[in-house]
Structure 1
C-alpha cells in the first residue's frame, strides 16, 4: 500500500491526545471538531473496505493474467499479509464475504505456490477465530473440505501446519465443524501429524486433539481405535516441553472419558503398567531439574500428578 493511501492514524492519535492527555478535565467537543472527527473516522473505514475490494479483485484475477502483468507470488503473499491486518477486526472479517473476497481467498488454498497456500490458511485462521458468523460463511463455502485436503495431503509441511491451525480455529465452538471434521476422518490426519517429525505440527495436533476429547467423551473411541494413546505416551518423553504437557493433557482426557468410552477401559488398562513407568520416569526427570526449569515445568507436574492419581 502506498504511503499516501494509508490511513492517517498518526494524525488521529495526536488529535485525540491533544484533547485528552489525562492532565485536565475532558472538555466538550465543538461542533466543528466533532464533525472533523466523524468524517475522519468514516473516511478511514471506507478506505479499508475499498482496499479490501482491491485485494479481492486481484484474488479474482486469473493466474496467467497476473503473470502477464509481472505480479509475483511474493506480491500475492504481501497482499494476503495486508488483508490479514484488515480482517483482524471482526466487522471487517465478516465484510470480506459480503464484498466477494472469501471465495477467492479459499481458492488460494489450491494455489500452486506452497507459501500462498499457507498464507491463505493463516488469513482464514484470523477470519474465523472466535467469530461464529465467519465460521458459518467458511463452512457454507466448503472451506473445511479444502483445509482438510491441505492438512492431510499437502506436500509442503508449512502449508499442512497452517491448514491445521485454520481448522482448529474454524471448528472450535462450532458443532457442524466438529461433526464435519470427525466424519471426514480428521482424526486420521491428527494421527499422521503426531507421527511426523515437525514439532509445530505435533503441537497443533495435540492441542486440537485435547480440545476435541474434552468436548466429547465419545471421541475417546476414535482416539483409542487409531492408537492415539500410544502416540501420546511416546510424546510424553519429547524434548519439547509444550509437546510433553499437551500429550499428558490428552492422556488425562482419555482417562477421564473412560466411563463413557466402550473401548477405553480395556485398551488403557492393558497399557497401565507402561503408563505407570512413563509417568514414573517423567516425574523422576522433573525432580532432577534445576530450580529455574522446575518452575517452568509446574503445569506439566500438575498434569502428571493428576494422571498418577487416575492410573
Structure 2
C-alpha cells in the first residue's frame, strides 16, 4: 500500500480506537497490517537515528559550553546511559559512527570525571559486543588506546574494571585487537588485575586470560614467564566462587599445553596438588544445594587433576564429579554420531571372526571391535 493512502493522522485515530476498547469501523487486510508494521518500525528507527544525531551533537559540544548552559556531569552520565540503550541494536550501533557519535564517546574515555569515563566504556562495550563492524570502527577511531590506558593506570577502580570489560568485547574474535593488546603490554595489566583485591576485577581479568590462552596456546610461555600460574593458584582458594572457577579454568588451559603448560605447573606441582586436595575436601563437605551450585568447580577440579596427575580425582571415584541428572563436563553434542552409526554396527552384523582373524593386527579387527587408529585421548606427544 502506498504511503499516501493512510496518513499518520488516520493511523493514530485508528490505533486510539483500539486503545479505547472500540472495534475499528472495518477489518484491515493483511496487506494493510504488513504496511502498518513496516511503517511503525521505520518510523521508530527514524526516531532513534534522529535522537542519536541529537546526542552526538551534544557530545561534540565543548564541555565549557555545556557547563555554561547548566549541564552537569550527572546529565552527561544520563546521556551516555540513554545512548547505551539505543546501541544495543547492532544496526543502531553501526549507525553511531555515521551520525558522528562514536568519536565523542571515545573522547569521553579521557574525561576528568571517573564516572563519565566508566559510563563511556560501558557504551563502547555495548557497541562492539559481537559486532565485527563496530570493532573495526572503534579501532580505526583510536578507541583502543584510551581503553588500555584506563585499564592499566586509571586511579579509579570502577573505571579500570569498565575499561577491561570494553577491551574484552573489543578484542574477542578480533585478531588485530588481540595483536594490539599484546603490543600494548596488556598481559602485564592482566597480571596486575589478578593481584588486586577486587573479585570483580579478578573475574574479568581471568575471563580474558582464559580466552587468550584458549585462542593461542603459543602464548602459554608468556603467561608462565609473567607468573600467571602462581597467581591463579592463589585465586583457587578465593572466597568468590566465580574467581575460583575462572582460576581453575585458566590453569586447565595452561595444563593442556603439551609444550610448556605442564612444565610450568611442575615447578610448583606439590603446591598445586595441595590446593586441589583442599578444594576436593571442601567439595566433599558441601551440603547438597551447595554441591549443585558448585557443578563447574567440581568438574574443573577433576579435569585439572586428571590432566596434571593422569588419574581420576577422589571426586571422580566418589561420584561427585557428575551427579545424577547432570551431563558430563565439556561433553560435545554427538553431531556426527549418525554418520558413524553404520560403522559401529558393522562388526556386530558380520560373522564371528576366526582365530586367525582375531590374531591378525592388520585387518583392523580384534574380538569383533573396530580399531580406530591414532593416539588415545589425553596422551601427549
Aligned length: 289
Partners of 2:234 and 2:37 in 1: CA distance: 59
- Residue 102 (structure 2) aligns with: 102
Please identify which structure carries the higher helix content: 1
Aligned residue for 1:115, secondary structure, equals helix
Note the alpha carbon deviations across 1:275-303, whole angstroms, 9 max, x for none.
Answer: 11110011101111111111110110100
Q: What SS does the corresponding residue of 2:30 show, helix, strand or coil?
A: coil
Compared CA separation, residues 27 and 54, structure 1 to 2 (3 A): closer
265-274 or 53-62: bigger deviation: 265-274
Structure 2 alignment gaps of length 5 or more: 1-11, 309-381
1:266–1:299 Cα change, 3 Å: closer
Higher relative contact order (CA 8 A, sep 6+): 1
Q: Is the contact made by 2:170 and 2:177 (CA closer than 8 Å) also made in structure 1?
A: yes
Q: Does 1:306 align with 2:303?
A: yes
C-alpha deviation, 1:27, in angstroms:
8.0
Summarize deviations over 1:107-134 as a string: whole Å, max 9, x none.
0000011010000000100000000000
**Alignment partner of 1:218: what SS?**
helix
Structure 2 residue aligned with 1:81: 81
2:264 aligned residue? 267
Separation (CA, whole Å) in 1 of partners of 2:175 and 2:38: 40
Q: Which residue of 2 aligns with 1:293?
A: 290
Contact 2:229 2:264 (8 Å CA) reproduced: no
Distance 1:224 1:190 in 2: 13
Hey, what does 1:122 align to over in structure 2?
A: 122
Does the Cα contact within 8 Å between 2:254 and 2:262 map onto a contact in 1? no
Partner of residue 367, structure 2: none
Q: Is the 8 A contact 2:172 2:178 kept in 1?
A: yes
Cα deviation code 1:260-280 (max 9, x no counterpart): 33xx45432111111111100
Which segments of 5 or more consecutive residues in structure 1 lack a partner in the other structure? 1-7, 20-25
User: In the aligned structure 2, how far is the partner of 1:27 from the partner of 1:211?
Assistant: 53
Q: Residue 39 of structure 1: CA displacement? A: 2.9
Separation of aligned partners in 1, 2:165 and 2:156: 15
RMSD: 2.0
Alignment of 1:183 with 2:183, yes or no, is yes
Per-residue CA deviation, residues 206-240 of structure 1 (Å, 9 max, x unaligned), is 01100100000011111101101101000000000
* Deviation at residue 29 of structure 1 after TM alignment: 2.2
**How far, CA to CA, are the matches of 2:168 and 2:284 in structure 1?**
34
2-structure distance, mates of 1:291, 1:250: 27
Q: Does 1:54 align with 2:39?
A: no
Separation (CA, whole Å) in 1 of partners of 2:206 and 2:91: 31
1:308 CA drift (Å): 0.6
The 2-side partners of 1:35 and 1:184 are apart by 52
Please show how residues 201-212 of structure 1 align to structure 2 within 5 Å.
Answer: 201-212=201-212
**TM-score, L = length of structure 1:** 0.89
Report the TM-score when normalising by structure 2: 0.73
